[in-house]
Amino acid sequence: MKKQSKLILAFLVGFPLVFLTSCGGDVHVEEAIEDVVEEVEEGNQTYYRIPSPDEMFGFIKESGLAFNGELLNPIQNAVNYSDPKMQALNFGVYSADLAYTAAYEEFNETTKYFATIQKMSESIGLSSAFDKTLIERAQANLDNADSLVEITNTSYFAVVDYLEQNEQGDKLGLIASAGWLETIYVVVNTTNYATDKTAVDRLADQKLALDNLLDYLEEYKDNQDVAELLGWFNELETVFASLPEEEDSGSGISFKKKESGKMVLGGGSSISISEEQFNAIRDKVNEIRNNIVKVEA
């Protein structure tokens, strides 16, 4: 049987990352996660857990970080991405920007970015993920913050599910990687190391998400576009690798990957980060992000 690899964000849509890592001794949540792990092992599948954009942006808003529209990739750039790789990468970037504007209730911007990714979906073969009902819901809820967040979530997971179902893991790797990077780009460029400790700690935790993302990309490294992206992300991993990681004796919940390659339930990890390391991560993230969004003259 061919081994399958999937992004676990599509499987655990009902369990936001913030809830998983902070709810402690909730027996029902832990039992549900154990059921997931058993299904992963029995189904001969490996799931790689990374946070979706709405999880990260919901968290940073609650942390008190201000919205900065200047960090968004301008929608005017979209028409300049004609290469399939750049289209997929910037579809991921714009999807993250959409989630960012929705989380901060920037309704006008949310409308523009939703229209942008809807149009881009046609050129990269994802129009089937945006059905008429979803579009009509978006148009009818432009002034409803909760509904807009839900709609942006639905559109993101619809894309993930469509690519998984159609065995386009290489394209999904490009989109999800760029979306994740865009969330990190926003975090590092709105966070003050000295005063925003919660956000800094959350950034450090992304070391684990990056490890999972790299493992997923490795499955598709025969694709030239994925291989190039993997090279960029390996450079970022080198910077993250300097962050010390210790097992947390608390009741946090996380996924660990055993040597066998199976994902298993384990205790949380505590990762610390110095100001020098924070700055190094920011510089590398900015460099990679520029490679993704740049428009050739």
pLDDT digits (tens, 9 = 90+) for 168-192: 999 999 999 999 999 999 999 999 9
| Residue 89 CB neighbour total at 10 angstroms | 25
Q: Mean of the per-residue pLDDT values for the chain?
A: 77
The domains of the chain are located at 53-250+273-293
Q: Can you give the pLDDT at residue 234?
A: 97
Residue 87 pLDDT more than 70? yes
More reliable by pLDDT, 29 or 43: 43
The CA dihedral of 40, 176, 240, 226, to the nearest 10 degrees, is: 100
**Picking from 18-22, 106-110, 122-126, 240-244, which range would have the lowest pLDDT averaged per residue?**
18-22
Q: Can you give the pLDDT at residue 114?
A: 87
In 3D, which of 284, 150, 134 has the Cα closest to residue 207? 284
The arithmetic mean of pLDDT across residues 34-48, rounded, is 49
- Establish how many alpha carbons lie within 13 A of residue 73's alpha carbon, considering only the half-sphere containing its beta carbon: 33
Residue 237 pLDDT more than 60? yes
At a CB cut-off of 8 Å and minimum separation 6, what does 27 contact? none
> Is residue 49 within 8 Å of 209, Cβ to Cβ?
yes
